[in-house]
Structure 1
Amino acid sequence: MPGRLSWFLFLLIGSLLWNPSNSSASLKTLKPTAPEASPIAVETSNGVYEVEGGRRLDWWSAHNFCDQRFAQLALEPQDEAVTELLQGQVQGPIWVGQRTALLQRAQQRRTHMLPGLVFEVQTATKYARLLVDFPVLAAITVCTHIQWDLATDKVGTIFSYAAPAFTNELQLRGFAAHDGLVHLALVVHGHHSPYLPVFSADGRWHHVCAAWEEQSGQWAFVADGKLQAGSQSLSTAQSLAPGGMFVIGQDQDSLGGGFKKEDAFRGNITNLYVWARMMSLEQLDMARMCEIPKDGLLFGWNRWGLEIEPTLQEVVLPFMCPVPIEECPTWDGGSGTLGSEQCLQLLPFFCHYGTEVYWRLKEVQKTADGEFIIRVNTLANATVLSRNGFQEDPGSLSVLEATSFLGILEQALAAEETPLQPADLLAVLSFLKRVVAVEVRGQDPSGQQEHLSQNFLAVAGLLLEEQTEAQWLEIKEIIRSPMVLVESVNCIAASLSLLLTAKRSNISIQKGPIGIETRSLNLRNSTSSNLLEIPGGPEYIQVPFEEVRRLQGRGLSKVTVINTWFAYSALQHSLGWEGQEGGKVLSQDVSISDERQKYLSTQVGSAIISSTVLVRLQEVSTAVHYHLLYRTQGFSDKLVEPVCAFWNFSSSPEAGGSWSREGCSLIAQYQESVSCFCNHSTSFAILLQVYDVQRSSQEESVLKTLSFIGCGVSFCALITTFILFLAVGLPQSERTTVHKNLILALAAAEALLMFSEWAKAKKVLCMVLTAFLHLFFMAAFTWMLVEGLLLWSKVVAVNRSEDRRMKFYYMIGWGLPVVIVGVTLATSFDGYVGDHHCWLNLRKGVIWAFAGPVLFVLTVNTLILFRVVIVTVSSARQRSRMLSPQHSLERQIGVQIWATVKPVLVLLPVLGLTWLGSMLAHLSMAWAYVSIILNSFQGLYIFLVYAVYNSEVRLAIQRMKEKKKALLFTPRPSSLGVFLRAGPSRRGICDLQNCSQPINHSSSPRNTASWETKKGNSPGPTSSTSAPAPATAPPQRNIVHQGNLGASIPVGISSIMSSEKSMEKRRPRDKEGHKRRPAVELTAFKSSGF
């Protein structure tokens, strides 16, 4: 019997150390095993891979192993050399890193020393009774850890509750069936549920819960966090009677007695809890994870709450709380495929270094004299710091060892007897990573864990002092950022959460410029504060009340809030190189220069504060609100813009993370502080973007005023032009249609732009306004592109169908902007609008959804204008020679210069080439004024060129006036005879025949003729007062100008659209009989000059 008992206790203790959540896990320890061979390194184009073929660790330990050597757990191999090396060194699956982001940090598993009850054999004497005065129970839940003895297949009673009036009030019975499962049944008021399979009969520990409520008779069995069986209508007649006895291991046939051997339990029981309510699955899983819900708790497992029969074996067991089953990525060298295994399996792995990191690490360690390392190891009489991180494995640490070594390290750093070298700093950082991995116990009566945390903060503070700035710069290629210390301090703070109890709900430690706080937050207590105020100032961080309500809505009653802070003085020196000019600090490109300011650098300008919310030791992302001071010393003559940002540890793992502003926004800005809101919890700070001011606030105000005036004038001019085009009855043509669409788009954009300044205060309105601004400005530029394409078609491809072209033009002019705006909104909805204006976001690159197409349009139109100018000059040269061969060279040169300048002046507004000046606006204020005038007054320019000084518009207006005058002339009937007798005047004949036509040359704005007519003797000008023609002759009609400005200007910068068909008929032919190309026509209508 003693030998059997010893074996049974060995099985009992060994199985308790096994993780119940991981049924396939080996009973081997998870500590690193001794390496069978030295690591093998291979260099490839992707970096250096170090294969740890003889070392097998779980995924978390493998990740920590590589991290302590300033490497990363490698991803699946892509290089053939690495694949061949792994296949030769390792058989089966190996751990690889996570590609998207690092897995959440492993939960700290806690070891509790618990009393256990050993029911070695079935007897009628062994039992344990709960010393609890039970009330009336309308619902009950009982949970316990059970290890079923497989030596018997008889039914055993796990527990029973008997009341004075009725003994079979509540029982949980079960047996190990031949199917390899333990079947359980619940008895309530004598009503027996069926036996159902609940957990495996494998001799291991299982967390089992039985629950029942009176209202519906609902009952359930939950094993290892999963619902296994349940139903309803089990004894709904009455509640469980009060004043009864709860006995473990026996069936009560009388109150507190009447035990029978055949009904006794055989196995082991520990960790039993009773609640006076029916628990949810989430709450039962909390109990399994050693997070015991307090609401309705009647009994919590402890030795003093039990009456134990003297012969019942008692043991104290080291019980390790389980962790969730997680799958971690693996790579199989044999098949070359990715897979996954449970993270706690022991597998080989390999680490990955960047090439520069690996050789820089080698160089730093080779050049170190090791004096500081030797001194620390001598003081500790142990290997605290490793001189060669590639080869040495110092192993794991206990809490006591880590606390002692940290104290020695603090003493050595504070003494400054030995100067700290870059290799020494790397060794200290590697040691701190080992300390973070120290396993934390659930109880800390001696306060060692708090002492460890204090020493850790002291060492971290010493490493961030000003005299170590040079060392940080030396190792920046390896460490990338001292934010690794912030991450380590966060982990230390999280370990303190295991020490929180009902009596001690807050632990706060501050050492120099670094502080940590761990707080248990009762969500049901409205007065419970989650505000952390940083000592020495108005800075704080808190979880908003709305987030607390959201957590309550998930059924949570208690969470743990972990806060850390690093004063600005702690990181201003070591983070100095983060903000060097030209360095990229933020993961998003938020440092964009414009014409008002030139970007110089980004600096960390505040304390760094962190907040994390834990639920059952698992991190829960919550929104936070924080308020921080920022320092602008040294930037008195610069523009400093504060940015709310956080450190994203999972971004760029090879670089240790990076600053980001994703999900963070600035709520309020004060003179020396800002308030920020972020929709997630991590480490936060205020970054200062430093700009060199290019223009003063007064100059900026003048530019804004000038722009507003210009937009207003242009809007009125465009509307007037549009109305004129409709009112005067211009002939329909491609160019008039294109002009109208361009004017409509540009007018709408100008109107929205004037309104945008008032809309920026309203977020939704600003968003809508920005989308329409984007649409109409984009449409304005696409119609400018159409203007250029139409001009090209008139110069190069004159025989294409107008109908086909117009459909294509509408697709470009309106269809393309709709597509661009729609795609931009779909892909960048959250970052579509800028921070301070109702316009596209410069910081996130959304502005390129406008700037890119605009640059394309301006480039195409510039090439078109260049080609048109060449053709125009060539045509001017030929006509000049034909018309005036006797003219001097100077006259011909003048004609050609005018032929070059005039098309440029006429076409600039419709081709949008005035916007090219915006590219030079940042060079000086003069260029800024030129850019504002050219762009904001673009509508006025179009009005002057294409309405006021356009001959066809003026002619149409003149005709309207003449027609109106003619309609007003209506002779009275009484005077008609006199009128006829006297004979009609010239004016009367015109009105009676065709009052809509001009009667003489003076009715036209200009009396011009074609250059063919002027070859001969040109008659003198005809006066409007000349003698009337004979009555028998038809009235003389006006000669309409067809594409020329007269002999003095041989090149027509005008007018093809009004009479395109008639011109086609009249076009002269060359010697071969082909029609000659028409004169180059550049505007929509006939321009009579400026």
Structure 2
Amino acid sequence: LDWWHADRYCDQRFAQLLFEPPDSEQASFSRLLQSHHIKGSVWLNERDGVLHKPKRRRDHVVPVLVFGDKTDTKYVKVLSDFPELPAVTACAHLQWDTRTQEIATIFSYAVPAFINEFQLRGFVDEEGFVRFALIVHGHHSPYLPVFRADGQWHHFCVTWQQENGTWAIYADGKRRASASGLCAVGLSAPQAIYGQGTFIIGQDQDSLGGTFRAKESFSGNITDLHIWQRVLSMEQIEKVRSCWMVEQELVFGWSSNALEVESTVQEVTAQFLCPGPVEECRVFEVGSSGFRYTSCLQSLPFICRYKKDAYWQLKKVQLESSHLLVSRVNALAERIVVPENVFMSDVQDMNLSVAVGALNVLATVLREGETPVESSDLLAVLQLLKQVSSVEVQEGEELEMLEQLGQYYVEVTELILEEQNIETWSSVSQVIRGPMAVVEFCDRMVSLLAPLLTAGRTKITVQHRNVGLRRVTVKYMWFGYGSLQRCLTGGGRSAASQEVPASDRGQKYLSTAVGTAVISSTLLSDYQEISTSVRYRLQHRIKVGGNFRVFLRLLLHVSPDAGGMWSTAGCSVVTSLPDSTACFCNHTTNFAVLLQVYEMQQRTTKEELTLQTLTFIGCGVSFCALIVTFILFSAVGVPKSERTTVHKNLIFALAAAEALLMFSELAKTNQVVCFMVTAFLHLFFMAAFSWMLVEGLLLWSKVVAVNMSEDRRMKFYYVTGWGLPAVIVGVTLATSFNKYMADNHCWLNVQTNVIWAFVGPVLFILAVNTFVLFRVVMVTVSSARRRSKMLTPNSSLENQIGVQIWATAKPILVLLPVLGLTWVCGVLVHLSIIWAYVFIVLNSLQ
């Protein structure tokens, strides 16, 4: 199956797609698979974040230009002033007329100096492929196949840049052709595309803005043409293909108002169903014991992974149950609506009408209450709810049916949470971690209701007794106190609350009270989940007072996988009143993680927020001070010397590192950007420490005679300050590329010991600089003692002691931050929160 169906196959059987085996077990695991005749590639689960297949592709309503038969009159002129283009990207959606094999001009851009300044042409070859050729400055690339001439809509992009005359052609999200040297003549460098020209769609200009020929005209449909004054990246091209706009350096954006359309060219409005993003998923290579990424749409073998206790409980439930409810549902529906055996059911893409019919029958049987819900029945119902929550709503389907689906879904959810089913939930506790699993399914279901939102209807509410869904820009779910509390506490039995670590390093509570109805909330933008800080105020469903107030912070962060309870991670209480609680949820990163070499002890949300605030304030003040100092060194005319040069390099490295650290939180949402931020943070902080080492060596050269000229010393300093960090980062990336970055923030991985590629060199530098400081202090104290005896030979003992104390304290206070010795606190942050505070205050202000 493809990755999506493989993941769904395992999920619907209450299992997980196989995770990457540990390094020590890869060879033996590969041999095990080979012994079962499994070869080639096997799908793997994603540890760093689950890939999400878009539940609904974006609607895109755009004006489409319809060019009929080939003529010398039909054209469309772009009414836009084009600047000089040292680089360019042009993208559009295109529907090719397959009736002719003659060359057609998609667009042409002409200037007085070059009529064929920038042009894209194509034709259909004998094998049924459309071939494109790009023309720049009159120089012609070869015709190369880009997509099939199948009469369907295709997306294309062409890019060119002045440097080396590099060009590329993309079609349907893939690069089809690329080369360099387009328009380069002899040894001369390519020139930029001239500005202030005439851009014509559908015709080849044989003179500026005119003289068209029918045999070279375009026949077909074109829309969504955009032009940028830059070369877009592969990721940006994929965004444009999926109908998301890239605003940076956009020269022309598709709009009817910016086009001069010749009267015989038809202009119609069409609704596109844009393609979803092309994603790559990880696979394990059986035999070679390696890993790689490939398109998630390929059909490959896969393995479902169970926890041992869950598997045996599942087998036991299947054997001991009578399947009365499932049999009743299937008999009433006169077909297999709910399979009796969860191991044997097929994974199928259920459509909307089938889903509505299945839930209608199931709700009817549950509503009757005549058939008890056994363990296997409960699992089968949950399996069906999972399948329904993955339904893809197609264009043109009736919205009334979609709303009906939501109503049935909520009703079934309410019915399986009734009090008589408490023991049934307990009997499958190893397979399903409590009723919080239902919350997860409902969370998926709410996203399906997006098509119901219109300009005239901005809120949707679907409710059945104590369970409900609401969809606005923020989606909510609420469950009445009785619906979840009975199943969470095992029939209302009292239990002492027990505090244990959660998987996300928060606290999870094994016995809790549902104090408010809303238990899930997600912020959305254009049907996509977005990450941001949010403040909530929740009304209590039960009277809260005394010692129970501490539990209120648990209600915002649902963690079904961590034992089916709530987690404190990332959320804090702002105000707590008897009838309501205000909460603030956020996820932060702080300065103290840089030298953290062990997994952190549990911290409260307040502590994390304090650390983050101190980091941002300290780094901000430090960054501003560093920039001002750098400007003063550069502009005020400070005499040039070794010390000045070393100071400037240290200032630059430290300022770059702190700027990246302050904004690293913004990069967490994009794995590629986060990886790059991690690498540059590693480089600049390593460079800062290397220049601190140079500061120490420079001091040493002033204390001890060094037989090396100033020129040679500066070369050595530059190699140490920039060359050494580049080597360390390069070697680390080459040897630990897949284990380089931490899971929760943009920094080096502690669990895989990659952090020692930073901490190890830093500890060495700190040891050297400590020795340098000790030697400098000894020399300073000795000099101060001699000076004191010479200038004030009859001074009192107290005065002499005071002079020596100041002679000791002054170099220590001045040199501690310059030599980076305050960073020693960093390796102690895992011991106590106090060390984290001290570390941040000392070093964010360095």
TM-score normalized by the length of structure 1: 0.43
Equivalent residues in 2 for 1:98-109, closer than 5 Å: 98=46, 100-108=47-55
Equivalent residues in 2 for 1:15-94, closer than 5 Å: 57-76=1-20, 78=25, 83-84=31-32, 87-94=35-42
SS of residue matched to 1:201: strand
Q: Which residue of 2 aligns with 1:434?
A: 387
Q: Which residue of 2 aligns with 1:409?
A: 362
Residues 829 and 836 in structure 2, CA contact (< 8 A), matched pair in contact too = yes
Q: C-alpha deviations, 1:758-787, integer Å up to 9, x for none?
A: xxxxxxxxxxxxxxxxxxxxxxxxxxxxxx
Q: C-alpha deviations, 1:703-747, integer Å up to 9, x for none?
A: xxxxxxxxxxxxxxxxxxxxxxxxxxxxxxxxxxxxxxxxxxxxx
CA distance in 2, matches of 1:569, 1:591: 24
Residues 461 and 471 in structure 2, CA contact (< 8 A), matched pair in contact too = no
Q: Which residue of 1 aligns with 2:487?
A: 574
Q: Which residue of 2 aligns with 1:260?
A: 213
Q: What is the one-letter code of the residue matched to 2:11?
A: D
CA distance in 2, matches of 1:138, 1:505: 42
CA distance in 2, matches of 1:201, 1:173: 12
Q: What is the one-letter code of the residue matched to 1:506?
A: T
CA distance in 1, matches of 2:48, 2:560: 9
**Which residue of 565, 574, 582 maps to 1:667?**
574
Residues 488 and 511 in structure 2, CA contact (< 8 A), matched pair in contact too = no
Q: Which residue of 2 aligns with 1:622?
A: 532
Superposition deviation, residue 824 in structure 1: 3.9
Q: What is the one-letter code of the residue matched to 2:53?
A: A
SS of residue matched to 1:341: strand
Aligned CA distance change for structure 1 residues 201 and 440 (closer, same or farther; 3 Å): same
CA distance in 2, matches of 1:306, 1:484: 59
Residues 586 and 661 in structure 1, CA contact (< 8 A), matched pair in contact too = no
Q: Does 1:354 align with 2:313?
A: no
CA distance in 2, matches of 1:400, 1:101: 35
Residues 436 and 560 in structure 2, CA contact (< 8 A), matched pair in contact too = no
SS of residue matched to 1:70: coil
Q: Which residue of 1 aligns with 2:753?
A: none
Superposition deviation, residue 663 in structure 1: 1.9
CA distance in 2, matches of 1:307, 1:167: 25
Residues 18 and 305 in structure 2, CA contact (< 8 A), matched pair in contact too = yes
CA distance in 2, matches of 1:263, 1:490: 54
CA distance in 1, matches of 2:256, 2:89: 12
**Which residue of 508, 513, 516 maps to 1:603?**
513
SS of residue matched to 2:431: helix
Q: Which residue of 1 aligns with 2:718?
A: none
Q: C-alpha deviations, 1:53-102, integer Å up to 9, x for none?
A: xxxx111211111111111112246596995355323221111323x344
Q: What is the one-letter code of the residue matched to 2:517?
A: A
Residues 154 and 172 in structure 2, CA contact (< 8 A), matched pair in contact too = yes
Q: Which residue of 1 aligns with 2:375?
A: 422
Q: Which residue of 2 aligns with 1:124?
A: 70
Q: Which residue of 1 aligns with 2:277?
A: 323
Q: What is the one-letter code of the residue matched to 2:357?
A: S
Q: Which residue of 2 aligns with 1:778?
A: none
CA distance in 2, matches of 1:417, 1:831: 63
Residues 327 and 342 in structure 1, CA contact (< 8 A), matched pair in contact too = yes
Superposition deviation, residue 571 in structure 1: 2.1
Aligned CA distance change for structure 1 residues 657 and 471 (closer, same or farther; 3 Å): closer
Residues 72 and 213 in structure 2, CA contact (< 8 A), matched pair in contact too = no
CA distance in 1, matches of 2:832, 2:144: 50
Aligned CA distance change for structure 1 residues 405 and 157 (closer, same or farther; 3 Å): same
**Which residue of 195, 201, 208 maps to 2:146?**
201
Superposition deviation, residue 666 in structure 1: 1.7
Q: What is the one-letter code of the residue matched to 1:575?
A: L
Q: C-alpha deviations, 1:168-194, integer Å up to 9, x for none?
A: 99964356999x99555478xxxx565
SS of residue matched to 1:262: helix
Q: Which residue of 1 aligns with 2:616?
A: none
Residues 150 and 201 in structure 1, CA contact (< 8 A), matched pair in contact too = no
Q: C-alpha deviations, 1:146-168, integer Å up to 9, x for none?
A: 477999997520146999xx999
Q: What is the one-letter code of the residue matched to 1:670?
A: L
Q: Does 1:587 align with 2:502?
A: yes
SS of residue matched to 1:89: coil
Q: Which residue of 2 aligns with 1:495?
A: 448
Superposition deviation, residue 495 in structure 1: 3.0
CA distance in 2, matches of 1:342, 1:81: 24
Q: C-alpha deviations, 1:541-588, integer Å up to 9, x for none?
A: xxxxxxxxxxxxxxxxxxxx5444444444222322499436557617
**Which residue of 234, 249, 252 maps to 2:193?**
234
**Which residue of 464, 474, 482 maps to 2:427?**
474
Superposition deviation, residue 606 in structure 1: 2.1
Q: Which residue of 2 aligns with 1:273?
A: 224
CA distance in 2, matches of 1:137, 1:499: 41
| Unmatched 5+ stretches in structure 2 | 161-166, 183-189, 589-603, 605-821, 839-846
SS of residue matched to 1:611: strand
CA distance in 1, matches of 2:274, 2:69: 30
Residues 199 and 206 in structure 1, CA contact (< 8 A), matched pair in contact too = no
Residues 18 and 44 in structure 2, CA contact (< 8 A), matched pair in contact too = yes
Q: What is the one-letter code of the residue matched to 1:353?
A: Y
**Which residue of 637, 642, 661 maps to 2:551?**
642
Q: Which residue of 2 aligns with 1:506?
A: 458
* Count of aligned positions: 563
Residues 41 and 286 in structure 2, CA contact (< 8 A), matched pair in contact too = yes
Residues 111 and 442 in structure 1, CA contact (< 8 A), matched pair in contact too = no
Residues 174 and 195 in structure 1, CA contact (< 8 A), matched pair in contact too = no
Q: What is the one-letter code of the residue matched to 1:62?
A: A
Q: Which residue of 2 aligns with 1:849?
A: none
Residues 199 and 223 in structure 1, CA contact (< 8 A), matched pair in contact too = no
Q: C-alpha deviations, 1:522-557, integer Å up to 9, x for none?
A: xxxxxxxxxxxxxxxxxxxxxxxxxxxxxxxxxxxx
Q: Which residue of 2 aligns with 1:677?
A: 584
SS of residue matched to 2:39: coil
Q: Does 1:364 align with 2:317?
A: yes
Superposition deviation, residue 656 in structure 1: 6.5
CA distance in 2, matches of 1:604, 1:200: 61
Residues 143 and 274 in structure 1, CA contact (< 8 A), matched pair in contact too = yes
SS of residue matched to 2:460: strand
Residues 580 and 601 in structure 1, CA contact (< 8 A), matched pair in contact too = yes
**Which residue of 421, 426, 439 maps to 1:486?**
439
Aligned CA distance change for structure 1 residues 353 and 591 (closer, same or farther; 3 Å): closer
Residues 144 and 269 in structure 1, CA contact (< 8 A), matched pair in contact too = no
CA distance in 2, matches of 1:823, 1:182: 60
Residues 516 and 542 in structure 2, CA contact (< 8 A), matched pair in contact too = no
CA distance in 1, matches of 2:141, 2:289: 44
CA distance in 2, matches of 1:339, 1:277: 33
CA distance in 2, matches of 1:148, 1:399: 33
Superposition deviation, residue 232 in structure 1: 8.0
Based on CA coordinates, which of the two structures has the bigger radius of gyration? 1
| Unmatched 5+ stretches in structure 1 | 1-56, 213-218, 241-245, 521-560, 593-598, 682-688, 690-817, 839-1090
**Identity percentage over the alignment?**
33
Aligned CA distance change for structure 1 residues 193 and 662 (closer, same or farther; 3 Å): farther
CA distance in 1, matches of 2:510, 2:349: 46
Considering Cα pairs closer than 8 Å and 6+ residues apart, tell me whether 1 or 2 has the greater RCO.
2
